[in-house]
Structure 1
C-alpha cells in the first residue's frame, strides 16, 4: 500500500464515522444540515490522525474519535467561513448557507463545535484544553485573514489553517499513549498546515484575477508584490526540511515513516494537480 491508497482507505473509514455520527443525531433537521455540511471532504486532517497514531504504535480504533472530531471542527469552520466570505459554492455544490440560510448554519455549527470538543474530551482534560486553545487560534486566524496586515501573512496561515493540522497530530499523542512526544507532534502539524495553506494561496494567486483575491491569498500577493513563486518555494523548502527533521526524531513503526516523509509533497502536488498546474512551482 502506498500513501495514496492509505488516504483512500482512511477517507472511507472517516466517511463511515461521519455517517454514523450524523445518523445518531436525535433531531432530524440538525441531522440533515450536519450531513450536508460534512459531505464530500478530502479528510486530510482526519487521515493525519490515523497516520501519526499508527506511526507511534497506536491501535487504529483509538484514533477514530480524534479523526471524527477533527473533521467535524474542520467542516464547521468551512461552513462559517463561507458565510463570512459570501462563497456560494463548496466542494462542487451550493454552500450550506445558500441552501439552509445563514441563521440555520450558524446554529448547527454552534452545535457541531462543542459536540466535537466533547468527543475529544474522551482523551482526557489535557487533550481537551489544548484543543480548545487551537480552536481559539482558528478564530483569531479568521480575523487576521480578513483584517490582518500583509506582513503577518505566515502568522495568519498558521492560526487559521495550521491549527486544524496541529489538532490531529497532537491528539495522536494521546491515542497512542505517547504524550511525551506532544510538542514535536504539534510542530509537525504546524509545518504541514502552513505548507498546505501557502501552496493553496499560491494556486489562487496564479489562477485567479488579482482583483478577486481575498484573505491570505491577497496578503501573499501584496506581501510579495505579485512575485509569489520564490517566496512560496523558499518557505515550502524551509518548512518541509523542518518537518522532516521532526519526523526523523520520532520513534516510528512500520511503513508509516515513509508515508509521513512523503506528506509535504503529497499535499502540495495534490493541490497543484487539482488546479492543473502540477510541477510548475517545483
Structure 2
C-alpha cells in the first residue's frame, strides 16, 4: 500500500466517524452547522493519527478518537480563520460564516472545540494538557499571522499551522501506547507542519500579485525580497533532512517506513499539483 492508498482508505473511515459525530449532536441547528463546517475535508491530519499509530504497532480502532478530534479542531480553526480573513469560499463552497453568519459560526466553534478536547481526554490527562497547549499556540499563531512581520515568519507558521500537525502525531503516541515517544512525534509533526505552510505560502507568492498577499505569505515574500524560489527550495531540503533525522530515531514498523519517509514530498507535491503550479522547486 502506498501513501495515497493509505490516505484514501483512512479518509473513508474518518468521514464515517465525522458523520456519526454530527448525527449524534442533539440540537438540530448546531448539528446542521457542524455538518457544514466539517464537510468535504481532505482528512489528512486525521490520517496522520492512523499512520503514526499503525506504524508504532497500535490497534487502528484506538486511533479513531484522536483522528476525529483532530479533524474537529482543524475544521473549527478553518471556520474561524474564514471569518477573520473575510474569505467567502472554502473547499469550493461558500464559507460557513457566509451561509450562517459569523456570530452563529463562532458559537458553534465554541461548541466544537471543547467537545474535541473532551474526546482527547479519553487518552488521559497528559494528552489533554498537551492538546490544550497546542490549541493555545494556534491562537498565538493567528495573531502573529495578522500582526507579525517577516522576522517572525517561521515562528508564525510553526504556531499557526504546525501546532495542528503536532497534534495528530502526538495523539498517535497515546493511541499506540508509546507515550515515551511523545516528544519525538511532536517534533516530527512540527517539521511536517512547517513544510506544509511554507509550500502553501509559496503557492500564494507565485499565484498572487504582491499587493494581494496577506498573513504569512506576505511575510515570506518580504523575507525573501520576492525571490521565493531559491529560498523555499533550500529551506525545504533543510526541513526534509531534519524530518528524516527525527523519524530515523523512532522505532516504526519496517512496512510503514516508506510511507512515513514520503510524507514531506507527498504534502509538497499535493499542494503544488492542486494549485496548478508547474513544479519549479525540485
Could you tell me the TM-score, scaled by structure 1's length? 0.99
CA contact (8 A) 1:144 1:156 kept: yes
Distance 1:35 1:236 in 2: 36
Question: What is aligned with 2:130?
Answer: 130
Alignment of 1:26-45 (within 5 A): 26-45=26-45
Cα distance in 2 for partners of 1:163, 1:69 equals 14
Q: Is the 8 A contact 2:184 2:246 kept in 1?
A: yes
1:261 is aligned to 261
Distance 1:129 1:75 in 2: 20
CA distance in 2, matches of 1:240, 1:46: 21
Instruction: Please provide the CA RMSD for this pair.
Output: 0.7
- Tell me if structure 1 keeps the 8 A contact 2:229–2:280: no
Deviations 1:23-58 (A, max 9, x none): 000000000000000011111100000010000000
Ranges in structure 2 where 5+ consecutive residues have no aligned partner: none
Instruction: State the partner residue of 2:245.
Output: 245
2:67 alignment counterpart: 67
Structure 1: where are the runs of 5+ without partners?
none
Asked whether the 8 Å contact 1:166–1:186 carries over to 2, the reply is yes
Counting matched residue pairs gives 282
TM-score if structure 2 supplies the norm length? 0.99
* Alignment match, 2:272: 272
- Equivalent pair of 1:269/1:278 in contact (CA under 8 Å): no
- Contact 2:173-2:181 within 8 A present in 1 as well: yes
Q: C-alpha deviations, 1:132-178, integer Å up to 9, x for none?
A: 00000000000000001211000000000000000000011100111
Between 228-237 and 192-201, report the one with greater CA deviation: 228-237
What does 1:146-161 align with in structure 2 at a 5 Å threshold? 146-161=146-161
Cα deviation per residue 1:72-113 (whole Å; 9 max; x = unaligned)?
Answer: 000000000000000000000000000000000000000000
